[in-house]
Amino acid sequence: MEKVLKGLQPEAIFKHFESLTRIPRGSGNEKEVSDFLVKFAKELGLEVIQEECLNVIINKPATKGYEGAPRVILQGHMDIVCAKMEDLEFDFEKDPIPLILDGDMVRTDGTTLGADNGIAVAMTMAILEAKDIPHPPLTALFTVAEETGMDGVIGLRPENISGDILINIDSEEEGTALSSCAGGVNNIIHLPIEWQDIDTAKAVYKLSIKGLLGGHSGMEINKNRGNAIKLLGRLLELIGSKMDFDIVGVSGGEKMNAIAKMSDVVITIDGANEAVLKSIIDDCQNVVSNEFKTADPDIKLYIEKTSKPQKVFSEKTKKYLISILRLIPNGVQTMSADIEGLVESSNNIGVLETKENKVVFSSAVRSSVKTLKHEINNRIQTICNLTEAKMELVSDYPEWEYKVDSPIRDLMADVYKDMYGEEIKVEAIHAGLECGFLKEKVGDIDMISIGPNLYDVHTPNEHLSISSTKRVYEFLCEVLKRIK
């Protein structure tokens, strides 16, 4: 297969990154990439541990003169979010990522790129195999299932890893060092379905909402983009105010931690009301096009006839479904009063599914304040109490609190100033990083998070800056050189 990234600098990074794009590594499907990393370490003669959960830990001795320096853990996750354009035929379990070079950017032809967080893995691999980079004792930690609940770091065995400093490479903005992140939990609502026979005289239509930008539910939750699942609830309520209808099924979104960019519903109506239904669709299109003309300008509503099912939701189930869609918190809930511009708490309803006997609503709740995370969940529980639904909390992960004294943060500030003549930005992030769990597993060690410029992660438009990758790698190598 042709090497698309051949010749890009640093060559070692892009060589490894391209290799990673040819290995299936969606969350929960990391066996092949985990084995690949183990093989890589063994070929270098480095000590390696593959945990039962498939985390990989690789240790590299210090270079000469650095034997007494603090041990540094370089950390990233090997799994990726698998999202693609709706009409693209692509199988993330077997097809290589279709890489494209576009000026200073590496992007793809209609899929996520996997630079979140494959670029961390590739950078660390380059450092592990390098013979000309002075560095302290190193531990590389590659975790699994970060994108779907941080199961890898939860399963990390503390006896397998130790260190004094941890550098997480899962940030997405060059020149910014992250020193705090939100905690979160996956909130799942289960609404039981009461089925009833369909009125065979009714006409059946599929209504779809498409064309939204979507995006990362942490990094881009503050951009006021539309959520197709929430918009679906609004559309259904509007239809119910104008005519009688029944619901056959609903669906929407792709990933819990991605803003939903499409949704659909199958409904039945009296065939005589087709013109009214189309008029409602047109009116709703005009409203959302105006409301999101800047933040999400390509929203489109569609209607088409479809085949008749055998069952529809009962009136009670329909009422409860629409109530949940309308009432569930979504988007930014509070902004931080301490850190300007920081989203403090949010919720994203990312996936809507109709199953055999229930409708499932999957949301990602995030907050840098633990009690606010509980508050959002409590509000959702109240909605469940009113609709006979059940709430389940899965993969709860802790926040990473800001540390006043951080030698690694101070060192990075000095190195950045020396290399680029500018001050590095120190920020907190609303997205979840693994640092909170790592504090629990490794101890209260000094932590920081950096990374190159990445754009539109978790979407088919994800792209990575080549020049930024080079600069961040050189910066990281200089930081390691100065840790003695």
DSSP string, 313-365: E-HHHHHHHHHHHHHS--EEEEE-SSSTT-EEEEEEEEEEEE-SSEEEEEEEE
Percent of the chain's residues with pLDDT above 90 = 89
Q: What is the mean pLDDT of residues 380-386?
A: 98
Total residue count of the chain as it appears in this document: 484
Q: Catalytic site residues? A: 79, 146
What is the CA 465 to chain-centroid distance, rounded?
A: 19
Q: Please give the pLDDT value at position 86.
A: 85
Q: Say if residue 451's pLDDT is above 80.
A: yes
- Mean per-residue pLDDT over the chain, rounded: 95
Cα gap 30→35, rounded to integer Å = 9
Q: Quick check: 473 pLDDT over 80?
A: yes
CA 91 to chain centroid, in Å, comes to 19
Percent pLDDT > 70 in the chain is 100
362-368 mean pLDDT: 94
Contact 448, 479 (CB under 8 A): no
Q: Does residue 353 or residue 429 have the better pLDDT?
A: 353
pLDDT tens sequence across 410-449: 999 999 999 999 999 998 888 878 998 898 899 989 999 9
| Residue pair 135/66 in contact by the 8 Å Cβ criterion | yes
d(Cα 50, Cα 222) in Å, to the nearest integer?
Answer: 38
Beta-ladder partners of 367: 183, 345
Architecture of 11-182+399-482 per CATH? 3-Layer(aba) Sandwich (3.40)
- 452 near 465, Cβ under 8 Å? yes
Residue 1, pLDDT > 80, answer no
Residue 59 backbone phi and psi in degrees, to 5: -110, 135
- Whether the pLDDT of residue 135 is over 80: the answer is yes
Q: Which residues pair with 86 in a beta bridge?
A: none
Backbone phi, psi, residue 345, to 5°: -150, 150
- Residues 80-105, mean pLDDT to the nearest whole number: 95
For domain 185-397, give the fold.
Alpha-Beta Plaits (3.30.70)
85 vs 94: CA distance, rounded Å? 17
- The pLDDT value recorded for residue 85 is 93
Q: Which residues make up the CATH 3.40.630.10 domain(s) of the chain?
A: 11-182+399-482
- Residue 171 or residue 338, greater confidence: 171
pLDDT band at residue 403, thresholds of 50, 70 and 90?
Answer: confident
Q: How far apart (Å, rounded) are the C-alpha atoms in residues 419 and 205?
A: 61
The pLDDT-based confidence of 257 (bands split at 50, 70, 90) is confident
CB atoms within 10 A of CB 218: 23
Which of 226, 209, 204 has its CA nearest to residue 271?
204
pLDDT at 396 over 90: no
The answer on pLDDT for 255 being more than 80 is yes
The pLDDT value given to residue 481 = 98
Specify the 3-state DSSP secondary structure of 173. Answer: coil
What is the pLDDT at residue 219?
84
Pairing assessment for the beta strands 425-429 and 176-181 based on DSSP bridges: parallel
Cα–chain-centroid distance for residue 149?
Answer: 10
Per-residue pLDDT at 29 exceeds 90: yes
> What is the rounded distance in angstroms from the CA atom of residue 410 to the CA atom of residue 475?
14
Q: What is the pLDDT of residue 357?
A: 97
φ, ψ of residue 192 to 5 degrees: the values are: -65, 145
pTM, two decimals, is 0.71
Instruction: Label the pairing between strands 463-465 and 454-455.
Output: antiparallel
Once rounded to an integer, what is the mean pLDDT over residues 382-390? 98
CA distances in angstroms from 183 to 256, 317, 371, 431, listed in the order given:
15, 33, 11, 8
The pLDDT score that the predictor gives to residue 64 is: 96
Phi then psi for residue 41, to 5 deg, are: -65, -45
Q: HSE, CB side, 13 Å, CA atoms: give it for residue 2.
A: 4
pLDDT at 472: 98
Residues in contact with 48: Cβ distance below 8 Å, sequence separation at least 6, in sequence order? 37, 38, 41, 42, 56, 57, 58, 59
* 43: number of Cβ within 10 Å: 9
Say whether pLDDT at 402 is over 90: no
pLDDT tens per residue across span 258-290: 999 999 999 999 999 999 999 999 999 999 999
The CA–CA distances, whole Å, from 391 to 129, 360, 386, 395 equal 47, 10, 12, 14
Position 291 scores a pLDDT of 97
What mean pLDDT do residues 79-96 have? 94
pLDDT number for residue 148 = 85
pLDDT band for position 62 (cuts 50, 70, 90): very high
How far is residue 192's CA from residue 382's CA, in Å, rounded to a whole number? 16
Whole-number pLDDT of residue 401 = 81
Rounded mean pLDDT, 296-318: 96
Angle at 162 between CA 440 and CA 409, to 5 degrees: 75
Least confident among 154-163, 424-433, 464-473: 424-433
DSSP bridge partners of 426: 177
Q: Where in the chain is the domain with CATH 3.30.70.360?
A: 185-397
CB 446, CB 472: distance < 8 Å? no
Question: Binning pLDDT at 50, 70 and 90, where does residue 339 land?
Answer: confident
